[in-house]
Structure 1
């Protein structure tokens, strides 16, 4: 897959860093993308298994799917939003993407102006990035890096993964986020697919978990 990316402006990087930071009020801390169930069942129990899990999500699962949707939002955000809702692998994933997308759109509209109507999270980011003249490849790569960071942060609350181990995982995943972002953001909706089946199943089973820390 191509990793070609033009040199971004400092303003573009700072804008996306702000939008995708843990401090941006989309409530990302409340969602684990099914990871809580994976930890509870022993599929993820430490740094090594966590890295493999997050790598699969980014390369084969919801991460790559979101990068496709983010890129498609540059061309037709309404069509991308319809696809995002259909692509969600269960009620939990749909709640996750719609709640965060609604919060992102509302914050962007209040802070910077723009569309406030709710759409799926990657679509909201892609729509805002296009409106601000930001490059889709950079937006997708930084979106995936933020997703990896949110998953690793969730795992630190659930499994014996230390801060230094967590940063090592994110450093090793950085080239993957760049590569998947570059490829998927230009792939188009016909490339929307997923093969991280354990992640999808974990998310679906989490929906009926009686005692849980995260919403998904």
Structure 2
């Protein structure tokens, strides 16, 4: 199911809708990312970042075992759907709201967003994933900013909240100085690379097939990011029943390569 955006006329559109669309348009029109910020975002999106993202398939391995994903076309369809229906409406939307909260140092807002991410994991292994990757990214941030007292204060505060991965990533993106849209583009591409590598290993697929899937995900990412940027609290959600069922089944799967 592709994301759809309505286009009511200006005279009929409710004010919250117009504000969200204006915010998304402003994000799209933001100035180019400074070179140092761009490099930081590329670093955060890199599979080489030591946070363990390569060890998770987020239910994909269980979908393969259950017969839902058996080919390149199946894997591409599954991952594009996951991007649009779970990432854009959930973790990416939480990150989009966390970034301005970091700028404003609104810690009550940040704590609420972090709690929402942790509380909406639909299986124990998905909860463990966001906790482990959050802790690992916090450790990386401590190492990067060990001599910056102000940044260490924010890092230690988030660590005390049992940082989820989306909130830890939002803090790292905030430190980069990039605006919300480039930060979400980097996050999304890093997620896509990890998931494509999981598909290559578990379906299994060849490298060329993986690149074709990554191309499809790359084409879908900008719209998913814009959707996440426009979502208010009331429309942010983490509701994907089949993914939750598959993840729960994966916890007891006889043979597996991945931790989720």
TM superposition score normalised by structure 2: 0.77
User: Aligned partners of 2:220 and 2:241: how far apart in 1?
Assistant: 19
SS in 1 for 2:134: helix
Is 1:112 the counterpart of 2:136? The answer is no
Once the two structures are overlaid, the 10-residue window that deviates more, 52-61 or 137-146, is 137-146
* Paired residues of 2:88 and 2:225 also in contact (CA < 8 A): no
4+ residue stretches of structure 1 with deviation over 3 A? 194-197
Count the aligned residue pairs.
216
- Unaligned 5+ runs, structure 2: 6-23, 102-108
SS in 2 for 1:61: helix
The Cα of 1:194 is off from its aligned counterpart by 3.8
> Within 5 Å, which residues of 2 pair with 1:77-116?
77-113=110-146, 114=151, 115-116=155-156
**Quick one: structure 1 residues 52 and 166, their matched pair in 2 at CA, closer, same or farther if it must change by over 3 Å?**
same
Deviations along 1:82-110, one digit per CA (max 9) or x if unpaired, are 11011111111111111101101110111
User: Aligned partners of 1:62 and 1:210: how far apart in 2?
Assistant: 28
> Within 5 Å, which residues of 2 pair with 1:141-152?
141-152=185-196
- Unaligned 5+ runs, structure 1: none
Measured on the aligned residues, the alpha-carbon RMSD in Å equals 1.8
**Quick one: structure 1 residues 55 and 196, their matched pair in 2 at CA, closer, same or farther if it must change by over 3 Å?**
farther
Q: 2:68 aligns with which of 43, 64, 67?
A: 43
Once the two structures are overlaid, the 10-residue window that deviates more, 112-121 or 141-150, is 112-121
The Cα of 1:195 is off from its aligned counterpart by 4.9
Is 1:189 the counterpart of 2:222? The answer is no
* Paired residues of 2:121 and 2:238 also in contact (CA < 8 A): no
Q: Which has the larger radius of gyration?
A: 2
Q: 1:168 aligns with which of 196, 212, 215?
A: 212
User: Aligned partners of 2:72 and 2:240: how far apart in 1?
Assistant: 19
**Quick one: structure 1 residues 188 and 120, their matched pair in 2 at CA, closer, same or farther if it must change by over 3 Å?**
farther
